[in-house]
Amino acid sequence: MQHPSKSPRPSGSAKGINFGALAISLAITLAVGALGGLLTARSVNGWYKTLAKPSFNPPAEVFGPVWTALFILIGTAAYLVWRKRHEVLHWPRIVAVYAIQLILNLMWSFLFFYLRDVALALAEVLVFLVVIAMNGLVFYRVDRRAGFLFIPYFLWVSFAAVLNWQIYILN
């Protein structure tokens, strides 16, 4: 007989980790990243190379690994918040903020690389940054670790916004 104070672990878990839910959370965010990658692939080796860029623009090889790591962090953050979904009053709103943030992430790639509209992408990335900050704060209120996992994402997108601005100025 199980001790009354101990609840059983969810199936597929070790030390309270629900590996199925974690995998789904990571798959969703990485799928958004992959879709963004498809939108950028054609332009990165063509149009993007023709643009004047600031001296601090990283080499193209840096972006894929950095974005992959960031998507893993935010997917993990989403999982941490999902684990506490039954403790949260406004769960649908939290999911909505996260979904909007992912859509804005994808939208920036679409505007910048697919449509090649540097100005519109710049305007969009500013809205995107506000939503990332909101998402990080909402996640922080549910699980502090999840909120902290959004900090590198916010910093990188801030850097991307500066790059976007400089590319707009130079071109």
- Separation in Å, CA 103 to CA 11, 108, 127: 31, 9, 12
The rounded average pLDDT for each run of 10 residues, N- to C-terminus, in the chain (171 residues) is 44 69 96 92 86 95 95 98 92 96 97 96 98 98 97 98 98 96
| Amino acid 140: pLDDT | 98
| Amino acid 15: pLDDT | 63
Query: Residue 82: which of 39, 139, 8 has the closest Cα?
Result: 139
Structure tokens at 64: 């894929």
**Cα separation, 31 vs 120, whole angstroms:** 24
Beta bridge partners of 18: 13
CA 84 remoteness from chain centre: 20
pTM higher than 0.85: yes
- Model pLDDT for residues 72-109, shown as the tens digit of each residue: 999 999 999 999 999 988 999 999 999 999 999 999 99
Domains and their CATH numbers in the chain: 19-170 (1.20.1260.100)
Structure tokens at 58: 């990283």
Total length of the chain: 171
Those residues whose C-beta lies under 8 Å from the C-beta of residue 114, and which sit 6 or more positions away, are 39, 40, 42, 43
**Cα separation, 167 vs 110, whole angstroms:** 16
| Amino acid 4: pLDDT | 44
